[in-house]
Amino acid sequence: MVEMSKHMRDSLQNVPSQKIFDFSQFTSTIDDIIQLTIGEPDFNTPEHIKQAGIQAIENNHTHYAPQRGTTGLLKAVSGYLKDTTGVDYDPQTQILVTNGVTEGAFAALNAIVNQGDVVLVPTPTFSIYTADVAIAGGTPVEVDTSPANFRLTPEILKPYLAKYGDRVKAVVVVNPSNPTGVAMNQVELDAIADLVRGKNIFILADEIYSELWYDGQAASITKSLPEQTILVNGLSKSYAMTGWRVGYLAAPKDVVANIFKVHAFAVTDVSTFVQDAAKEALTNGREDYRPMEEAYIKRRDVMKSALSKMGWQCTAPQGAFYIFARIPDFLDQDDEQLAYDMAKKAKVAATPGSYFGKCGEHYIRFSYATALDKIQEAMTRLAKYCADQRK
């Protein structure tokens, strides 16, 4: 048999992401299961955005697009970032349209990470980051944020910066957070920026939930440190556009030039008509998220109160659409076994916390990007399961 690449085998060995795929595969085989696993809005893409995509196809915008992105979308992204972060990004040299945040983060990390470099990944976190760093030949180091209620504080980060010194190439900051729903404010982000300012360290800022921010004004670490930040964002969550596969990245010019090389060889460009739809979203759809956000807040409150009554400890998320709940003492403390058991017996699928990093053991992530009636039914099933386990 022909051998797989040794690098791929070794580097991905300790990455939990694969388990997420296996778990989803398993839960999809159970009839009548309620999925609280998925990080995908159940809303459809707003009508005017769909029409912009349809119109683009009608107008034969179906050829290759410029590799960095269409002029229209690059300008729309630049305008959006100026309005939301106050930072001026030149559309032609400092922005890149990507195949979602997933591709943007992958291209960025592959462009900046050298063999042996360390990337600090505050955990629990969305699974791509440890995988991307490993694929790039670097060493992902999990920074356990649980002592600070899952907030990244200078006290948490400093020892890691001291321990790994010059080997640290980047710090990942996902804000608001998947899986915890924590949203750090500008003062907290400024404090993190101060720690790396002037050092040879990037901040890789994932702000995909920037619109789903329930309390007050959205903060952005690029406001604090644009010269060292690689900002990745996209339209999947805020505009209910997961299947369109479109996002963008903004960074200093020379950094974008290098990331562009990875992007151009990996995906060439993002579909032309998809970019037309994304331009419509960022230009005329800035308020589209509001009714969705209202619905998420209602669902969050229902889910949180039901879980608390059952004995799960959870704080109210300030953004995104997940509750990261501590497993009550009377249930199996192995998060993975428990999630499989809940799926089989209660027909409720929710993601084991350890799939987001080691410190997520003893937690389960519940997504509330699901209709309210389904959430209510899931909570009824789960309450019965908990009652049975207590016996």
Residue 120 found at the interface with ligand PLP (CB under 6 A): no
Minimum gap (Å) between residue 239 Cβ and ligand PLP = 11
Minimum gap (Å) between residue 322 Cβ and ligand PLP = 8
Contact by Cβ (8 Å): 206, 126: yes
Residue 100 found at the interface with ligand PLP (CB under 6 A): yes
- Residue for token pair 């992958």: 106
Q: Tell which positions 146-205 bind ligand PLP, by CB under 6 A.
A: 174, 178
Residue 41 found at the interface with ligand PLP (CB under 6 A): no
Contact by Cβ (8 Å): 236, 247: yes
The answer to whether the bond into 176 is cis (omega within 30° of 0) is yes
Cα dihedral 126→129→131→135 (10° resolution): 160
Alpha helices in the chain (DSSP H): 6-11, 17-27, 47-58, 71-85, 100-112, 128-135, 154-164, 186-196, 221-224, 253-267, 272-284, 289-310, 335-341, 372-390
The answer to whether the bond into 140 is cis (omega within 30° of 0) is no
Question: What span, in angstroms and rounded, lies between the C-alpha atoms of 366 and 193?
Answer: 31
Q: Between 206 and 211, whose beta carbon lies closer to ligand PLP?
A: 206
Among 11, 110, 180, 236, binds ligand PLP (CB under 6 A): 236
Residue 234 found at the interface with ligand PLP (CB under 6 A): yes
Structure tokens at 140: 């992902």
Residue 45 found at the interface with ligand PLP (CB under 6 A): no
Among 106, 126, 244, 273, binds ligand PLP (CB under 6 A): 126
Residue 225 found at the interface with ligand PLP (CB under 6 A): no
Stretch in the footprint of ligand PLP (CB under 6 A) among 97-105, 266-274, 281-289, 298-306:
97-105
Residue 247 found at the interface with ligand PLP (CB under 6 A): yes
Q: Tell which positions 337-376 bind ligand PLP, by CB under 6 A.
A: none
Strands 322-326 and 247-250: what pairing? unpaired
Among 206, 269, 276, 336, binds ligand PLP (CB under 6 A): 206
Residues that bind ligand PLP (CB under 6 A): 39, 100-102, 126, 174, 178, 206, 208, 234, 236, 242, 247
